[in-house]
């Protein structure tokens, strides 16, 4: 089993990574000072696949388990779902030493984390991510939250999990589309932080797509190491951590403008990364050969790179203005200077942004 430490003082925690380790979670929780009351929060699809195995592991460790099953999909990442969790916890008298366990992808993890951070002003939770995207990104770092009709992740908190438990065996049940959506976030780490990692992804496309366990563990581990390093330096996104949002200003706007139903999160981020690389070129920061290399890698993994031509552009630009990095109306973009290095750039004119978006339409 691989272990990566997220160093945050008294809020530090471990990311445990291995194969077929779901059955071992219960025993690993014995070292924590939890009460023996735990809730597994999941969706019907994931719970059917892994819920019984996880529940058995926890019950063997002496936990009393309830299941909270939420509808599946980004459109259900809202306060209504959080209310459902609160209702069950209150009915069953969960207290401050009880623990929530998020079993699922990024939507389940974000909702569960937000509920944990606000129930009784904060209780512990465990992340058990079952999608590639959640394993390399959303389960690590403590960002929790839900969407609003006007913007993605506009309601949320910073609340670190006590443990992240990554079992790569769950990837075998993922659809190819969901697997590739996770690859987008992995590519992001190469662009923002580690050019050698980007090179590795270019060379290992075939083995990654065939789920070679050694290569899969390597890319998940390296992605988590990068994110853990960034989060340890800047937990609350006051500076450095904003680089993790490369592709997200335009990507989130695409999700909002299309009602959260057209693209998976990773697909929208792939489009956003390509569009923001074009924007970096328009701003004179990066050569076109680097933009093409980014687009080529995304495309070879079967990811979309073009903004759909039928999108409502006014809704798209309006959603960008609501980006959480914006200060006094100035939208700040994370833009690559080269593969492996990015900068946070403000004061980009609307005209330049619009030019980049037009170039990115269905490319």
The catalytic site residues sit at: 121, 143, 185, 227, 237, 241, 245, 248, 252, 265
Helix H or strand E encompassing 64: strand 64-69
The CA distances from residue 255 to 76, 115, 202, 306, 319, in Å, are 14, 23, 27, 13, 9
Would you put residue 23 in left (φ > 0), alpha (ψ -120 to 50) or beta?
Answer: alpha
Q: What is the CA radius of gyration of the chain?
A: 20
Instruction: Work out whether strand 333-338 and strand 163-167 pair parallel, antiparallel, or are unpaired.
Output: unpaired
Instruction: Tell whether the torsion through CA atoms of 91, 95, 100 and 106 is positive or negative.
Output: positive
Closest CA to 130 of 229, 48, 32: 48
Instruction: Give the number of other CB atoms < 10 A from CB of residue 218.
Output: 17
Instruction: Tell whether the torsion through CA atoms of 270, 272, 275 and 277 is positive or negative.
Output: negative
Rounded CA-CA distance 158/145 in Å is 9
DSSP string, 92-152: TT--TT-EEEEEESHHHHHHHHHHHHHGGG--EEEEEE-SHHIIIIITSS-EEEEEETTEE
Instruction: Check if the beta carbon of residue 251 is closer than 8 Å to that of residue 273.
Output: yes
């Amino acid at each position: 089993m691989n272990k990566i430490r997220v160093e945050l003082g008294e809020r530090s925690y471990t990311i445990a990574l291995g194969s077929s380790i779901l059955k071992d979670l219960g025993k690993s929780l014995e070292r924590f000072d939890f009460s023996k009351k735990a809730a597994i929060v999941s969706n019907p699809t994931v719970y059917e696949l892994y819920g019984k195995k996880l529940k058995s592991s926890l019950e063997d460790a002496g936990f009393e388990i309830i299941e909270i099953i939420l509808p599946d999909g980004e459109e259900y990442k809202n306060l209504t779902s959080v209310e459902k969790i609160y209702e069950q916890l209150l009915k069953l008298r969960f207290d401050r030493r009880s623990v929530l366990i998020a079993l699922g992808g990024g939507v389940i993890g974000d909702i569960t984390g937000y509920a944990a951070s606000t129930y009784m002003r904060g209780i512990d939770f465990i992340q058990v991510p079952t999608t590639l995207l959640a394993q390399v990104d959303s389960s690590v770092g403590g960002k929790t939250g839900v969407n609003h009709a006007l913007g993605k992740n506009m309601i949320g908190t910073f609340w670190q999990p006590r443990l992240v438990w990554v079992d790569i065996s769950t990837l075998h049940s993922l659809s190819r589309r969901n697997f590739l959506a996770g690859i987008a976030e992995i590519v992001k780490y190469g662009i923002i932080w580690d050019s050698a990692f980007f090179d590795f992804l270019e060379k290992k496309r075939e083995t990654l797509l065939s789920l070679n366990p050694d290569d899969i563990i390597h890319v998940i581990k390296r992605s988590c190491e990068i994110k853990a390093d960034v989060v340890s330096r800047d937990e609350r996104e006051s500076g450095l951590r904003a680089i993790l949002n490369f592709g997200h200003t335009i990507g989130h706007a695409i999700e909002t403008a299309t009602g959260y139903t057209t693209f998976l999160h990773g697909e929208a981020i792939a489009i956003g990364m390509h569009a923001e690389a074009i924007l970096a070129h328009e701003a004179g920061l990066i050569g076109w050969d680097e933009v093409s290399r980014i687009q080529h890698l995304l495309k070879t993994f079967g990811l979309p790179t073009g903004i759909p031509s039928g999108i409502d552009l006014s809704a798209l630009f309006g959603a960008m203005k609501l980006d959480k990095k914006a200060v006094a109306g100035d939208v700040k973009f994370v833009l690559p200077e080269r593969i492996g290095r990015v900068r946070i750039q403000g004061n980009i004119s609307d005209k330049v942004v619009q030019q980049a978006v037009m170039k990115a339409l269905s490319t």
